[in-house]
Amino acid sequence: MSQRRASISRFVTGDYLSPPGARLAGQRVVAVAYLVRHPDATLLFDTGFPFDEPFTVEEAGDSVATYPRSLVTELERLGTSLAELDLVANCHLHIDHAGGNFRLPSSLPIYAQASELEEARREEEKLVVDALAIELQAYRPIEGEAEILPGICTIPTPGHTAGHQSLIVDTDAGPIVLLGQGMPSASEFAAAAYAVNLEHEGSEPVPPYPAWLPAILAAEPTRVHFAHDLAIWQPSG
């Protein structure tokens, strides 16, 4: 009997206009979430922005124009709804990834790294506090790697935040990594993966790469998806 595995659908939750001086200045930077249909449950990885209409966020002295899309509408397009979700995971608790958490049913489990939750509880900005609804929602802290469903594992990928996490999902196409904002883009992931290969070959110099990357590559992913890039990394050869 063949093992039942998960399937993944991605959707855009909106975008923001990268401000002057920032990476990709002047470009609309996409935000992507993922619906994972597992034989035992339906999981949502990230919930998008907290806004219903275009909104300007003041961040580190910059005015950042955001252009959200409706989480409810996107889920309906995929044939499901907030009420039909069984669990949620956030790659990290910034409002372009977890800003829709306040919209979720209050009993719905939301998985995040414990260190990420601790940091979020120190947040004082009302916009963020209201969006995350830490004390109202059913957050479930994770310490490191955890199998939250059979064949779906969290793996810490710190860097963008100390408590950032990614998912490794077992599918019929092989393991697929939902990297979140572990790296900004597929091209940067490819460059880092090449650095790991150079190290294995004993070639010098080896450019720096995140300490967690070998564990991701050891899972032999057939695809790696990102939270701010619609391009997909696939292994060569």
| Residue scoring higher pLDDT (24 or 124) | 124
At residue 147, the pLDDT reads 97
Task: Name the nearest CA neighbour of 33 among 89, 79, 76, 86.
Answer: 89
C-beta atoms surrounding 224 within 10 Å: 27
Position 103 pLDDT exceeds 80:
yes
Position 16 pLDDT exceeds 80:
yes
DSSP string covering 24-86, please? TTTSEEEEEEEEEEETTEEEEE--B-S-SS-EEEEETTEEEEEEE--HHHHHHHTT--GGG--
DSSP string covering 118-171, please? HHHHT---HHHHHHH-TTTSEEEEE-SSEEEETTEEEEE--SSSTT-EEEEEEE
Average pLDDT over residues 75-89: 98
At residue 3, the pLDDT reads 57
Average pLDDT over residues 108-128: 97
Task: Name the nearest CA neighbour of 98 among 136, 50, 146, 157.
Answer: 50
Q: Give the rounded distance of the alpha carbon of 66 from its chain centre.
A: 18
Domain boundaries, the chain: 7-225
At residue 23, the pLDDT reads 83
Two structure tokens written together for 11? 């959707």
φ and ψ at residue 34, rounded to 5 degrees: -135, 130
At residue 21, the pLDDT reads 81
pLDDT level of residue 1 (50, 70, 90 thresholds): very low
**Beta strands across the sheet bearing 152-156:** 146-149, 152-156, 165-171, 174-178, 223-225
pLDDT in tens, 174-198: 999 999 999 999 999 999 999 999 9
Average pLDDT over residues 41-53: 97
At residue 61, the pLDDT reads 82
Rounded Cα–Cα distance for residues 95 and 100 (Å): 8
% of the chain surpassing 90 pLDDT? 92
Q: Which CATH class is domain 7-225?
A: alpha beta
Task: Name the nearest CA neighbour of 163 among 97, 228, 102, 229.
Answer: 97
At residue 90, the pLDDT reads 98
* Whether 99 contacts 50, CB under 8 Å: yes
Q: Which amino acid is at 14?
A: G
* Whether 26 contacts 18, CB under 8 Å: yes
Average pLDDT, whole number, for the chain? Answer: 95
Position 87 pLDDT exceeds 50:
yes
**Cα torsion for 169, 171, 175, 177, to the nearest 10°?**
-40
Place of tokens 């790294």: 113
